[in-house]
Structure 1
Amino acid sequence: MFHLQSLELVHWDYCQRVSLPLDASIITIAGPNGSGKTTLLDALRTLLGLKCSSPRDFKTYARHAGANIAWLRAVVDNQAQTRQTSSRPFAKRLLYSDQVTLACRIERNGGDWQRRYLVLEGDVSIEQLTDIPDKDLGLMGIEAWGRVLSAAGLSPAIAKVLSLEQGQTDRLCEFSPRELLRLVFDVFGDQEVLGHYDTAREHQQQLGREMEQAAHELDHSKAQLAELQNRVSNFQTWQHKVQEHERLATEVVPVLEWHGQRQKLTERSRDQRRHRQNASQNTTQRSSDNARLLQLLEQRNQGDTQVTQLLQERDAAAVQRDSTRDLERPLEALAKREAELLALVDKESDAEALTAHLDTLRTSESSLQSKHSALLQKRELTAQAQSALEGQNTPPFPDDARRLRQRLQAQKIGHRFLAEVVEVRDEHWRAAVEGVLRASRWMVLLEHADDVAAADAIASADRYRHYITAPGDTAPQADADTLLAHIRFDAKVPRWLLQQLQHLRCVDSPAAGRKTSGSWITPQAYSFDGRGARSLWVEPRDHQFGAAALIARRDAVERDLRSLDAALGPLGQELRDIRLQIKDCQKSLAGHSAAQELADRNDEFSAAKQALPAAKQARIAASLHWQSLDTAYADAKTRHQQTDTQYRQLELSLRQKHQEADRQAAELLATRKLHTANIDSSNHRRRQIPAAWRAPHVVQALVRTYQNDTQARLRLQSVHEELQLDTWEKDATVEERFRRMEVLVREQGYSLGDHQAKNAQAGIAVHNARESYIEVLRSTVRRYRKNIQELGELAGVAVNADLPVLENDDTVLAQAGLKVHFNFDGKGSIGLNDGEASGGQQVIKSLILLVALLKDDETASGGFVFIDEPFAHLDVRNIQLVGHFLRSTQAQYVLTTPITHNLEVFEPAEITLITSKKPKNAKWAPPIAVAKRRNAPAAV
């Protein structure tokens, strides 16, 4: 590998033009932070086609100078690398002089910067390069430049090492064993053997790809074969359906139609015989029914006569009963008057007692008047409730629901109350339905979800106590034993209500419900849930759901009215009697004598008392006589009505039977004529069908397959519709194409087998090439181990490397690694990056690994190394160790270090380049000072 001798920069960063000598083994670039040390290293990296320190690039440095063109030029040696060979680094470029000029021209191209490289024989200045035409310079791009330098010894592996950034000097010792082994082989490996191995492997991979292509083509052909096979099957199915369609149309349908007609004719013959037998039985039954009808007529006439006679006798008894009652009533009134006067006589002598009796009567009158008024008021309210129900289709709404409806309708919000959408399917479970839904009957069911917010605002303002719900779900099909099965909803209701009704099972009694689990309810609205059992009974007058609820309310109101009327009659009579007694007391207090009235009317009261028992007895006897006649009349009338009903039903039945018999006789005659005609038609069709088609076993087979002509006709229609589809393959050549594709698939199978055999042979060749590669790899590892051991001796470090396990297998080779061990000062073995080494030891480890890559078969070294601040964070002792190691090797080093009070960092340097910061107002940086050690040896 070549060495650097000088470097020249033009318009690079803030350097206007700088020429620097590099003809020494160790060059140190020193200066304060930010003075351009890394800038010089990045100039060398850019000249060699490497990446600059992150995040910088060559464009950044070119822009800082403010010029359109920047130059980087270096003079390197082109002498033979070892004594055993006369080959020069740039011999492949036909450059045989001892010096070679490497240059990089960076120029602005439009809005971007572009770099071009060139290599010329000898020491050619930038002015000379500028005078040479571009076509004679042989400018090249970054990729071609990389190939030129790689041929001169700057391999991609060393290029990676040279690209190490600031503070990463110890990066090599951080490589994994696999990475280190790969790097060593890239530098030292026999490229011819590696190329042969890569060629053999590429050939095997190519054969593998060809085999995969052949397999892919075979799979594709198989797919085409399968597609053709499907098309052949489709074509054959189409042919089969065409044949089936023709057979169904010409044979199956006519035969089964004829067979079905014959079966129908046979069945009709049986029906006609059965009809004749039924007609004979009906004639006998009609004769018996006629005799029964005459008997019922005679019984009806007798019953009519008996009812008329009993009605006359009952009416006469009623007249006699009323006359006896009319005779008894005045006698009862006289007896009652006498009793009242007798009760008053005892109190007439005592005015205080009479007054107290009057007060008592008035108190009783007031109490009775209050009861009478309360009953009248209750009757008036009941009558109003009855009037409110007149003309209504549903029970009335409560006031809060009515007010809410008015406000919702004013806002045009569609809604319905739950009470309006519930209908009880089974009245047996009405009480249960009314009880469960009573608390939710005035729940508002909105029709549109968009109205929820407006409805909430209205209900909140009215303090409405019932739910406002968005549109719910349609009631599903309920289980038969649930309460939901007995309810019909005319609108969507909330899901929770449906679930509640679905989970509430109907049981006949509480005892039956206790034997099961879950919630239940009885027809009497006794319900059980997880909290316990209770009654949900609702009085019929409070029923709400459906038309039956309105009827129940009306019946309850009518019963209440009758009950109130029955209570008002006796109470009114009692009130009138008390008022009459009050008048008598008032008359007595005014001077009227009850004893005088008794004396004056004594004869009248005595006669009434004597006549009253006989009149009462006569009234009772007349009433009993009328009651017995009324009962007899009712029984006779009931029997007469039953007899008359039986007579009318039997008469109507006989009339219908006569009409039905006449109709059946006419139909039987017409059916017989039609049946005869159908038999003749069937026989004619039978003669038209071939005998082989209508053989019994053939017909039975058709029946087993198609059952009847209707199913065969449906099958014919189905086949016809299938044949009308465009999915059928109708090309008869598809079978021939399928046979040709079968031949092609077999040939491709043979070709795939041939490719597999060739791939196996290539695998053997790869195996042999890998054997050679492994031998070279073993030799390379031994060579590198020798180099690091020799360098370790120079650095005073015991270095050893474990030879990797190498087998003839790509997986094993890919996982192989080079494990290197270091022993500093006899303190024990440490690995590449196990955290046991100090900072200086890390640097020495990396330098040993790095410089070992530059050593040839002999002990001479070659190449150069860029190390940015190798002495950072090192103490004096470690600086001395690193410096001693650098002096003991013969590689060329370009080092950077900041200005420090520790002068040990300058001790190894033969040439020291001193950089300075650019003044604030200056355009260019100050010149770089060069300090050269006396009697310093030239770079090897």
Structure 2
Amino acid sequence: MFHLQSLELVHWDYCQRVALPLDASIITIAGPNGSGKTTLLDAMRTLLGLRCSAPRDYRTYARHAGAQTAWLRAVVDNRPQGRQTSSRPFARRLLYADQVTLACRIDKNGGDWQRRYCLLDGDVSIEQLRDTPEKDLGFMGVEAWGRVLGAAGLSPAIARVLSLEQGQTDRLCEFSPRELLRLVFDVFGDQQVLDAYDQAREHQQQLAREMVQAERELDHSRTQLSELQNRVASYKAWQLKLAERERLGTEVLPVLGWHGEREGLAKQARELRRQKTQHRTALAEQAAQNKRLLTLLHESTSAQADAERLRAERDEARTALDDATRHEAPLEQLGKREAELAALVDKGSNADELQAHLQQLQEQESGAQDERSTLQQRRRIAQDALKALEGQTLPPLPAEVQQFRKRLTAQGIGHRFVAEVVEVADEAWRAAIEGVLRGHRWVVLLDKDSDLAEAYDIGERERYRHYLVGPGEKPVRGEPGTLLAHVRFTAPVPRWLVQQLQQLRCVADPREGKRLGGTWITPQAYMHDGRGARSMWVEPRDHQFGAAAVHARRAAAERDLAQIDAQLAPVLDRLMALKRQINDTRRALEGHSAAEELARRSDEFAQAREALPAARQARIAAAQRWQRLDTESTRAHDRHRAFTDEHQRLEQQLKRSRSDTERAAQEWTARRRTHLDHARRSQAQRRQFPPRWTAAEALAALVESYTNDTQARLRLQAVEQELEQGTWEQDATVEERFRRMETTVREQALSLSDHQVKNAQAGTAVMNARESYIEVLRSTVRRYRKNIQELGALAGVEVAADLPLLENDDTVLAQAGLKVHFAFDGKGSIGLNDGEASGGQQVIKSLILLVGLLKDEESGSGGFVFIDEPFAHLDVRNIQLVGHFLRSTQAQYVLTTPITHNLEVFEPAEITLVTSKKPQGSRWAPPIAVAKRRGVPELAPMAA
């Protein structure tokens, strides 16, 4: 590396023009704080294209001068460092003089400052530079200037550690082993080998990038190919849809329509044949029914004669029974009278017993009268109920329901009750239907939704306990096996009512319901739901639904009347007997003798006792004969009525059958005529189709694909909708573009394969270049270790460096590091930055590492170093150690130090530049004093 010989500044900071000698090994810049020591160092740094001390830069110094242009000029040594002329630092720039001028021109360019550099052979003054045309000076930018100085030995790696700022004299000690190894190789490494390795690695990386780019392009092309493939598929699907639409419209629909019509005609023909067979069967059945009618007529006549004969015999038997009863009654009355008189005779003339007997009879009479009153009241109620049913088609409404109906009718609210719209379709299930719907009989079904609010108000006022609902839905026919199937509604009802009936399954008995499970009900109204089972039985007298409920109620009322009459007759007889006994007892109390009457009528009573058994036997025989004849007469009458009903039913059925047969024959003839016309049109339509369309195989395929013309029409609508609403590719060129893209993808795949082969070859080249790089790296580390060991010997420090582990692997190389150890004063070994060295030792370590980088193996020169205040915070002993080391090396040092009473800081300097502060009010700083040591100081060994 070259050395600095002189420095000249024009308009730099507060220096108007300064020329300073630097032709010495150690130059110390001394001055008070703020006198411009760092300013001089930053001038040298700017001249060499280095970064100024933070946070300053060259613009700050140029702006302080207040001029439009500032100049920095230095004369450097360009002597050969070996025997060959090409070893001169600036030989690559074809500069072969022993001195070379480095110049930096800083111009104000608008609001900013711009620096440019030039390099001239020999010692060229600033005036000569100003007078020389710019094109001859060859000004260059800072990047090109860095490359020029790098070729002269000031590489970027050295520049990173060359300029040590204040407090950074131990900067290199802070480097990690990996950073130190990288720095050493960047400085000492064979540039050709390093370039070859970098080029090989860059080539491989470039190939890898190209391969990645090729893969990306291939993926992109494949994506485009896939997209084009989808578009081709869409285009083909669109073409197929068009073809399908055309085929559906021109072939499928007409043929399937004709085929469906032909199938319909065939079905009609089969139906006509079946109807003809049914007609013949119906005629045969009518003939059989005619024979059955004659038989029924004969049997009905015979049954009528038997019924009339038995009725006459029954009437005769009834007359005989009445006669026997009339003959028996007086005899029985005489027997009772005799018993009553005998009872009075037993009591004799004892008035107390007669009075007690009278009171007992009166109590019995009172009880009998109460029983008669109760039975008569029940009879009046039954008669009223029976009377209320006269002329009625439906059972009457309860009083509260009638009252509520009056209120609704008065407000003009149309309505019905559920009881008025329910009909029992199967009387066998009436008990179940009556039981299930008993709680819903008086639910009000309003005709209009708009009447609900007003109806609610009326229901609230009347406290009506049943539901009021709006118009319901027309119920569907119940499924077989459900209770709904046995109910018929004459008006719409709420859905929940229909669902309740639909959910009830009809079973024959509870055992069957238990076996089936779920919700069920029996004909006897025994129901099971999710809560359990219970009876829903309703007495026939309480039935409500349909006209049959009126008959059931009437029959129940008649049965009640007959039962009450049967209970009332004995009560009346007992009451008459009690009254007679009471009269006799009263007469006895008045003096009437029962014994006298008993004696007087003894013959009469005796004859009655003798005649009563025969009379009773005659009455019993007459009653039995009458009962037998009455039963036979009833049976004969029922048989005659059954024959008559069957004859009438069969006669009506025969009339309807004949009417239906005649109408069916007329309709069959008309349908037959229409069928023949349609068949002729179908044949004519078939002749219009190509024969292959109506072939059996083609028809079978069409039916298998579309079933019928309706499905084909739906398919045509779907295809048209898909064509209209779908997104289809309609560009016919997409297929050609797809074929071209396929070719492109194949070519790109081949190119990628070629890149992969080249990348593998580049990997081999990188491995070979890495091996050469490792060999050079080992040689470089050995050279640097030799340099720092020699420098350590000069400084009296033992220096050791561990050779790093180097393998042909980028990961291992990236992790490799250079570990350096120092031993001061015979003490133990310490590392770079382990905290065990003193401040002076840290500075010496850093300087050893730094100068070791700058030391030339052939000339032993160490280049130059800028150190800002290296003696800061050091005691006298450490200052002596650092100064001794600086003198012992062959490097050029530019040091700064503040004015201090410790003269040891000036001991190693050959040239001392003394700066002064700019006086207040003065534009320029005072001149810089130069003190140059006479002769060269001799290096004496340091005392231990």
TM superposition score category, shorter chain reference: 0.5 to 0.7
- Kept in 2: contact 1:255–1:694 (CA 8 A): no
Structure 1 pair 735/107, CA: closer, same or farther in 2 (3 Å)?
closer
* 1:151 alignment counterpart: 151
Which residue of the partner structure matches residue 257 of structure 2?
254
One-letter amino acid of the counterpart of residue 675, structure 2: I
Hey, what's the Cα distance between the residues in 1 that align with 2:734 and 2:178?
A: 60
1:223, distance to aligned residue in structure 2 (A) = 3.4
Query: Which one-letter code corresponds to 2:892 in the other structure?
Result: Q
Bigger Rg, structure 1 or 2: 2
- Is 2:839–2:874's contact at 8 Å kept on the other side of the alignment? yes
Q: What is residue 185 of structure 1 aligned with on the other side?
A: 185
Deviation at 1:811, TM superposition (A): 2.9
Partner amino acid, structure 1, of 2:927: P
Give the equivalent residue in structure 1 for 2:676: 680
CA drift at 1:23: 1.4
Query: 2:842, 2:680 → 1: CA distance?
Result: 117
> CA distance change for structure 1 residues 802 and 685 in 2, over 3 Å: closer, same or farther?
farther
**1:888 CA drift (Å):** 0.9
Q: Separation in 1 of the partners of 2:465 and 2:185?
A: 99
Q: Indicate the residue corresponding to 1:81 in structure 2.
A: 81
- The answer to whether the 8 A contact 1:7-1:21 is kept is yes
Amino acid at match of 1:758: K
Q: What is the 5 A alignment of 1:742-757? A: 742-757=742-757
Indicate the residue corresponding to 1:127 in structure 2.
127
Cα shift at 1:903: 2.4
CA distance in 2 between partners of 1:798 and 1:671 (Å): 137
Q: Distance in 1 between matches of 2:815 and 2:662?
A: 104
One-letter amino acid of the structure 1 residue matched with residue 182 of structure 2: R
Provide the rounded CA distance (Å) in 2 between the counterparts of 1:869 and 1:776.
Answer: 36
Equivalent position of 1:365 in the other structure? none
Q: Is the 8 A contact 2:117 2:140 kept in 1?
A: yes
On the 8 A contact 1:6/1:74 being kept in 2, the answer is yes
> Tell me, what secondary structure is at the counterpart of 2:170?
helix
| TM-score (structure 2 length as normaliser) | 0.56
Contact conserved, 2:265 with 2:679, CA < 8 A, in 1?
A: no
Per mean C-alpha deviation after superposition, the further-off stretch among 863-872 and 242-251 is: 242-251
Instruction: Give 1:3's aligned amino acid.
Output: H
Matches within 5 A, 1:369-388: none
Query: How far did residue 41 of structure 1 move?
Result: 0.6
Instruction: Tell me, yes or no, if the aligned pair for 2:85 and 2:96 is still in contact at 8 Å.
Output: no
Give 1:254's aligned amino acid: G
Alpha-carbon distance change, 692 to 94 in structure 1, aligned in 2, over 3 angstroms? closer
Q: Contact (CA 8 Å) 2:862, 2:889: kept in 1 or not?
A: no
CA gap 1:907/1:90 in 2 versus in 1, 3 angstroms? same
**1:44 alignment partner AA:** M
- The CA deviation at 1:117 is 1.5
Residue 756 to residue 429, structure 1, CA distance change in 2 (3 Å): farther
- Asked if structure 2 preserves the Cα contact closer than 8 Å seen for 1:255 and 1:699, the reply is no
- Rounded Cα–Cα distance in structure 1 between residues aligned with 2:269 and 2:849: 112
Q: Which residue of the partner structure matches residue 897 of structure 1? A: 897
- Given that 2:11 and 2:69 are in contact with CA atoms closer than 8 Å, whether structure 1 keeps it comes out as yes
Structure 1 alignment gaps of length 5 or more: 288-309, 319-386, 394-418, 431-657
Against the structure 1 CA distance between its residues 61 and 665, is the aligned structure 2 distance closer, same or farther, given a 3 Å change threshold?
farther
For normalisation by structure 1, the TM-score amounts to 0.56
Moved more, 125-134 or 221-230: 221-230
1:507-550 Cα deviation digits (max 9, x unpaired): xxxxxxxxxxxxxxxxxxxxxxxxxxxxxxxxxxxxxxxxxxxx
Q: Residue 698 and residue 938 in structure 1: after superposition, are their counterparts in 2 closer, same or farther (change >3 A)?
A: farther
The answer on whether the counterparts of 1:255 and 1:693 sit within 8 Å (CA) in structure 2 is: no
**What are the equivalent positions in structure 2 for 1:58-69 lying under 5 Å apart?**
58-69=58-69
Supply the AA of the counterpart residue of 2:754. D
Describe the shift of the 1:205–1:914 C-alpha distance in structure 2 as closer, same or farther (beyond 3 A): same
Q: Distance in 1 between matches of 2:465 and 2:761?
A: 93
Task: Tell me by how many angstroms 1:165 deviates.
Answer: 2.8
Letter in 1 for 2:676: D
Per the alignment, residue 31 of structure 1 pairs with: 31
Give, in whole Å, the separation in 2 of the partners of 1:824 and 1:938: 23
Structure 1 pair 271/136, CA: closer, same or farther in 2 (3 Å)?
Answer: farther
Q: Does 1:873 align with 2:873?
A: yes
1:829 counterpart SS class: coil
Question: Cα RMSD between the aligned structures?
Answer: 5.0
Q: Provide the C-alpha distance between the structure 1 equivalents of 2:70 and 2:938, rounded to a whole number of angstroms.
A: 29
- Alignment deviations for residues 374-396 of structure 1 (CA, whole Å, 9 cap, x no partner): xxxxxxxxxxxxx9xx99x9xxx
2:897 maps to a residue whose letter is T
Partner of 1:113: 113
The residue identity in structure 2 corresponding to 1:48 is L
Of residues 83-92 and 726-735 in structure 1, the stretch that sits farther from structure 2 once superposed is 726-735
Structure 1 residues 683 and 819: CA distance shift in structure 2, 3 A: farther
Shift of 1:701: 5.3
User: Which secondary structure does the structure 2 equivalent of 1:830 belong to?
Assistant: coil
Give the distance between the partners of 2:868 and 2:269, measured in 1 at CA: 117
Correspondences of 1:648-667 after superposition (within 5 Å): none
The residue number in structure 1 matching 2:244 is 244
Q: Flag the 1:264–1:885 CA change in 2: closer, same or farther, 3 A.
A: farther
**Corresponding residue SS for 1:150:** helix
Deviations 1:549-572 (A, max 9, x none): xxxxxxxxxxxxxxxxxxxxxxxx
Amino acid at match of 2:891: A
Indicate the residue corresponding to 2:92 in structure 1.
Answer: 92
Identify the residue that residue 219 of structure 1 maps to in structure 2: 219
Change (3 A) 1:681 1:224: farther
Partner AA of 1:804 in structure 2? P
**Count of equivalent residues:** 603
Say if 1:265 and 1:678, in contact at 8 Å, map to a contact too: no
- Which residue identity lines up with residue 112 of structure 1 in the other structure? D
Contact kept in structure 2, 1:256 and 1:702, CA below 8 Å: no
Q: Displacement, 1:729? A: 4.1
Cα deviations by residue, 1:677-704 (Å, 9 ceiling, x for unpaired): 6533552454334676567776565455
Number of the residue aligned with 1:791:
791
Corresponding residue number in structure 1 for 2:828: 828
Distance 1:223 1:27 in 2: 70
Q: Distance in 1 between matches of 2:466 and 2:76?
A: 112
Q: Could you tell me how far 1:3 is from its partner in structure 2?
A: 0.6
Distance 1:851 1:678, change over 3 A: farther
CA 6–428 in structure 1, closer or farther in 2 if over 3 Å, else same: farther
2:529 is matched with none
SS at match of 2:96: coil
SS at match of 1:103: strand
Once residues 91 and 826 of structure 2 are traced to their aligned partners in structure 1, the CA distance between those partners, rounded to angstroms, is: 46
Q: Distance in 2 between matches of 1:138 and 1:429?
A: 116
Residue 91 of structure 1 aligns to which amino acid in structure 2? A
CA distance in 2 between counterparts of 1:92 and 1:818 reads 32
> For residues 22 and 783 of structure 2, what CA distance do their matches in structure 1 show?
30
SS in 2 for 1:753: helix
What is the rounded CA distance, in whole Å, between the counterparts of 1:668 and 1:913 in structure 2?
Answer: 147
Output the CA distance in 1 between the equivalents of 2:834 and 2:271.
Answer: 107
Relative distance call for 1:804 and 1:314 in structure 2 (3 A) is closer
Deviations 1:874-897 (A, max 9, x none): 222222221111111110001112
Whether 2:161 is the aligned partner of 1:161: answer yes
Give 1:870 deviation, angstroms.
1.2
- Matching residue of 2:52: 52
1:64-108 superposed Cα distances (whole Å, 9 cap, x missing partner): 111222111111111112457662112222222222221212121
CA contact (8 A) 1:23 1:938 kept: no
Shift of 1:48: 0.7
SS of corresponding position for 2:87: coil
Amino acid at match of 2:890: Q
Amino acid at match of 2:187: V
Displacement, 1:738? 4.2
Partners of 2:662 and 2:241 lie apart in 1 by 45
Code of the aligned partner of 2:257: P
Distance (Å, rounded) in 2 between the aligned partners of 1:743 and 1:720: 36
Structure 1 pair 666–919 and aligned structure 2 pair: CA distance change class (3 A): farther
Deviation per residue, 1:803-860 (Å, 9 max, x gap): 2222222333233222222222333232222333222222111111100111122361
Shift in CA distance, 840/261, structure 1 to aligned 2, threshold 3 Å: farther
CA distance in 2, matches of 1:57, 1:260: 104
CA deviation vs aligned residue, 1:30-86 (integer Å, no higher than 9, x gap)? 222222111111111111111111111111111111122211111111111245766
Which residue identity lines up with residue 683 of structure 1 in the other structure? Answer: A
Cα distance in 2, alignment partners of residues 739 and 667 from structure 1: 76
- Of 105-114 and 863-872, deviating more is 105-114
For structure 2, which runs of at least 5 residues remain unmatched after alignment? 297-375, 385-406, 414-455, 468-651, 940-944
